[in-house]
A and B are shown apart, each in its own frame.
Chain A
Amino acid sequence: MADTLTKAAPATQRTGANPEPAPAPTVIADGVDIVYRVHGTGTSGRGAATAALGRILRRRKGGGDGTERGVRTVHAVRNISFTAYRGEAIGLIGTNGSGKSTLLKAVAGLLPVERGHIYTDGQPSLLGVNAALMNDLTGERNVHLGGLAMGMPREQVRERYQEIVDFSGINDKGDFISLPMRTYSSGMAARLRFSIGSAKDHDVLLIDEALATGDRSFQKRSEARIRALRERAGTVFLVSHNNKSIRDTCDRVLWLERGELRMDGPTAEVMREYERFTSA
């Protein structure tokens, strides 16, 4: 562990520069390890099927100690601890495969932790309703379906429908919202998805590379939307490889490398180190 570089809490919160009472934590990660198990990586073709059969039979009996044949483990996140507070926008950076998205999914409660604990205030949600949308349906029906899938009440979806459509800019060039989504260009579809996903008020919002969608003017609007979401609610986590959007949106950055927390601190400080690291 790079203990020398790691800070337990952001400097701004700890120095007590603001006279307000102690900030409320929204996410606490305590020594989190995440391990993926990949099935079907038997050493050779022969015997893989019987191993799989054996695995199924063993699982029926509730076995499985993690050392089975044909199963490889990938240790994606190692011993990560941090505390996020209300009102923070936290960037997650690191080279490809450093465990950023994995950590985000675990915070959302969508991946189990191997060791340690993640405590959250309410239910953090990933920004992304892509999986709930259906290409064969019209944009209009997808707005409703996506809103409901995120857990918005029906009345709220109706209330915000116009706002979602306007924000996406889908109807700027004609009545496209009443056409099936499969007829949209990839940029249009991405904009509609972001509009739907960001329409809900989230306590803790987790964003995985969402700002890279759309044209420049839409990106600007997205950044403004992220800032608004952050003001309205609790905490925003943002995974991005775009250093500029991290600088523009985040006030604190966690830098992950090979699944370990390499640095945690104010954006300017961490980004300076990170850029030195990546350009080397």
Chain B
Amino acid sequence: MDPAALAARHGLTVSGARPTLPAYVRQLWDRRHFITAFATAKLTAQYSQAKLGQLWQIMTPLLNAAVYYFVFGVLMNTKRGVPDYVPFLVTGVFVFTFTQQSVMAGTRAVSGSLGLVRALHFPRASLPLSYCLQQLQQLLFSLGALVVILLAFGVPPTLSWLLAIPALALQFTFNAGLALVMARLGSQTPDIAQLMPFVLRTWMYGSGVMWSIDAVLKDHHLPHAVTVLLEANPAAVYIDLMRFALIDSFGAGRLPAHVWAWAAGWALLAGVGGFIYFWKAEETYGRG
């Protein structure tokens, strides 16, 4: 009998074909425990050889914030005109680091796990998503440190702190989408991983992590296009939302117009677009 006909009669399918989008989502959902276990395992393994162990989860973001404070707060004195500069800066650093690390981890998610991809079958989107989840866990540690800093600098805890939850959910969706896009690009051209640190650093300096976008916009008369670009920048949007939620003196007046709409729009665009873009190349990961 003809092999194709024999295969059809016994319900055999072509090995390694890309599933449909709904089937792919279902497979991914079935692997949710793997995704979370992999993220937690990576996070735990990270500092398992260090003497101080998991203490570094908190120490690393704190040291990071200290360095930025020394450079931008003390040496360059960017804090002029920004009330509560330390909470302002630290929030910015932590929130941007979340996106930055997610993008970096996403870039290497497939190309750095080729052994896994070539040995086992699972929806490949598990990898970038798992890495993003690891970054989210890392951020939660950082936020713990942030709460201590906020209280130490006399920022009162308010109900608006709860707004951090929707802001984080939107940012996580945005990060995951971006990580999925970068994972596909990085798997085809691993060289991108060398380039990304420079792109991300440029993005950071343009996102008002250590300076106040609205103060600059008030002081200088910039072209309309530049204003829109600065205010619509997703990193700036998520940073501003977190500052608005956590820092009392950062009032609604300092938020750009339609900021929640921007935050949701970016999350939707990156999340859905990134997922479909990644799925389109599902059968090619780890091959050739």
Contacts and interface: CB of A to CB of B under 8 A. Distances in A.
B122 A28 contact: no
Contacts of A149: 34, 38, 116, 120, 122
Contact of A130 (B41, B119, B188, B288): B119
Contacts of B12: 25-28, 119-121
Given A108-B121, A123-B121, A151-B30, A136 B287 contact: no
Chief secondary structure at chain A's binding surface: mixed
A132 B7 CA distance: 32
Interface stretch (A140-148, A165-173, A222-230, A265-273): A140-148
Interface string B180-197: 000000001101000000
Contacts of A105: 118
B14 A132 contact: no
A124 interface: yes
Interface stretch (A110-118, A242-250, A254-262): A110-118
Nearest to B119: A131
B22 interface: no
A40 B4 CA distance: 37
Contacts of B34: 145, 148-149, 151
B257 interface: no
Contacts of B33: 148, 153-154
B148 interface: no
B287 A83 contact: no
B10 to A, nearest CB: 5
A117 B10 contact: no
Contact of B45 (A24, A36, A109, A134): A134
B16 interface: yes
B262 to A, nearest CB: 30
A10 to B, nearest CB: 15
Interface in B77-127: 113, 115-122
Contacts of B284: 112
Contacts of B17: 109
Interface string B42-74: 101100110000000000000000000000000
Contact of A109 (B10, B15, B44, B191): B15
Contacts of B48: 136-137, 180
B120 A150 contact: yes
Nearest to B30: A151
B31 interface: yes
Nearest to A112: B287
A24 B10 contact: yes
Contacts of B116: 131-132, 149
Contact of A151 (B38, B42, B121): B121
B3 interface: yes
A70 interface: no
Given A30-B3, A81-B3, A134 B14 contact: no
B15 A121 contact: no
A30 B48 CA distance: 49
A195 interface: no
Contact of B121 (A24, A106, A109, A111): A109
Interface in B270-288: 283-284, 286-288
B119 A126 contact: yes
A119 B14 CA distance: 4
A136 B7 CA distance: 44
A129 B119 contact: yes
Contacts of B7: 25, 28, 30, 117, 119
B119 A107 contact: no
Contacts of A118: 14-16
Contacts of A136: 44-45, 48-49
Contact of B15 (A106, A141, A144, A154): A106
A131 B120 contact: yes
Interface string B129-170: 000000000000000000000000000000000000000000
Contacts of A123: 15, 121
A117 B4 contact: yes
B191 to A, nearest CB: 7
Given A30-B4, A105-B118, A141-B41, A110 B13 contact: no
Interface of A: 24-30, 36-37, 56, 59, 81, 83, 105-112, 117-121, 123-126, 128-132, 134, 136-137, 141, 144-145, 148-151, 153-154, 180
12 contacts: A28-B12, A105-B118, A108-B16, A109-B121, A110-B16, A112-B16, A119-B13, A126-B119, A131-B119, A134-B41, A137-B48, A141-B44
Which 9 A-B pairs rank lowest in CB-CB distance, beginning with the nearest?
A: A109-B16, A119-B7, A131-B115, A109-B15, A30-B3, A119-B12, A148-B34, A136-B45, A131-B116
Given A59-B189, A132-B116, A149-B120, 13 more contacts: A106-B16, A108-B121, A110-B16, A110-B118, A119-B4, A120-B13, A123-B121, A126-B120, A131-B119, A132-B120, A136-B44, A141-B41, A151-B34
